[in-house]
Amino acid sequence: MDERRLEELIKEKNYITIKKELDKLNPVDVAELLEPLELHTSLLIFRMLSKDLAVDVFSSFSVDKQRDIIGLVTDRELKNIVEELYFDDMVDMIEEMPANLVKKILSHAKEEERNLINQFLKYPPDSAGSIMTIEYVDLKKETTVKNALKHIKKTGLDKETVYTCYVTDGNRKLEGIVSLRKIVISDEDKTIEEIMDTDVIYVNTHDDQETVANVFKKYGFLALPVVDKEHRLTGIITVDDIIDVIEQEATEDFQRMAAMSPSEEAYLETGVFTLAKHRLPWLLILMVSATFTGRIMLKFETLLSSVVILSTFIPMLMDTGGNSGNQSSTLIIRGLATGEITTHDWYKVLWKELRISIVVGVILALVNFLRLIYIEKITYIIAAIISLTTIVTVVCAKLVGGTLPILAKRIGLDPAIMAGPLITTIIDALSLMVYFGIAATLLGL
């Protein structure tokens, strides 16, 4: 079913066919179809869905849609949704809801769940604890394989994943992990202790979600255990949750690289003044900092008035420097984000960027020199000034673009800050100083 087909059936009020066709679809696809519909129409169709499908569709709705649905459904319907939602989905939903709806949701949760939700909400917003779930399969090491399989069959239906089981002691301390595959193929009389893996990769409840994402990318896990300071198993993070985190972190980096304050709100759903507020601070900073280039040009006003042709090549040199710096900063920021580069690699980055910049700078300068002499018919001395400036500017730009993100990471800032607009502003001032310095020296002014 597509949107057009759904609209036709709604106009015909053929809700029986709608229900039959939606029941065959994936919950995510159903949510995409219902999301843009008028609220009462989408609620009518939502109420027609089977209980299990309705819960999965609800968890796939946007926060705004969830808020609207909660505001209109009956207490009984809300109770069914709350009871069937996975715990981490419920916590994520509550974090985005206004206080009156949170109170309504919690009133339908069991006391034990309410206590756990309150505990989860106390974790820092971007920590491992805030995105984990408590719905995992735990086993004891003295349990036999036979009894472990019975336990998994009995409890697995309500768990987010059964592919990895977690072995804990009486105090919930994490002792090992064992895969469902290993349990299935092992002798049923063996104990879990005999087949479990004690070399467990885990994260702490207060670890940053970006750190968690890097662990997932490094090891390719489907799920990762989360422990507290006493090494007690607190929950697990599944790969579907970390994909959302990776997308969120990538979006934040793109926004910072474009000199904007990060925002999780959808572009079309964000107000004009809110978007302006996110963009203005950096634009003001960059505008004020750009006055340095004007001051530099003012300082060399005599030189420019004596050799007017020098001013013609200022945009080219500034663009070349800015582009060179952006190339380096983009690669280094990406390397820092993926863990390929660490702050301890600064000297390796410096050495590599130095060699790259010399090669690139010399080739650009040579091409530029020949163009200026044979096409532009510029004098040799002016062509030499511009070509030498090109080499020095490219070298400086690539060194600055390669090291500033590492410096930012070292002092606890997001490396994405040291990108695009900021690098360009710095390199613009630097290239002008180099240009006028070389010109003044070679021309003797």
**pLDDT tens per residue, range 282-302:** 677 767 766 777 777 778 877
Q: What are phi and psi of 199, to 5 degrees?
A: -90, 85
Tell which residue, 420, 391, 415, 417, has the closest CA to residue 405: 415
- Cα-to-chain-centroid distance, residue 435: 39
Domain boundary among 207, 223, 238: 238
Q: Is the pLDDT of residue 161 over 90?
A: no
Domain membership flag for residue 422:
yes
What total of structural domains would you count in the chain?
3
Residue 375 has pLDDT above 70, yes or no: yes
Check whether 256 has a pLDDT greater than 70. Answer: no
Answer yes or no: do 304 and 387 share one domain: yes
**436 contacts: CB under 8 Å, gap ≥ 6:** 296, 299, 300, 303
- Verify that 296 and 406 share a domain, yes or no: yes
* Any domain includes 282: no
Q: Are residues 352 and 433 in the same domain?
A: yes
Whole-number pLDDT of residue 125: 77
β 223-227/203-204 pair status: parallel
Q: Sign of torsion, CA 114 65 43 53?
A: negative
pLDDT of residue 143: 92
**Mean pLDDT within 92-119:** 67
Q: How far apart are CA 299 and CA 314, in angstroms?
A: 15
436-442: which pairs have CB atoms within 8 A and are 24 or more residues apart?
Answer: 436/296, 436/299, 436/300, 436/303, 438/385, 438/388, 438/389, 438/392, 439/300, 439/303, 439/307, 439/310, 439/385, 439/389, 440/300, 440/303, 442/381, 442/384, 442/385
The pLDDT tens digits for 307-344 are 878 888 888 988 898 888 888 888 888 888 777 888 88
Look up the domain containing 201 and give its range.
138-238
Q: Do both 101 and 168 map to the same domain? A: no
The last residue of a domain, from among 82, 101, 131 = 131
pTM more than 0.85: no
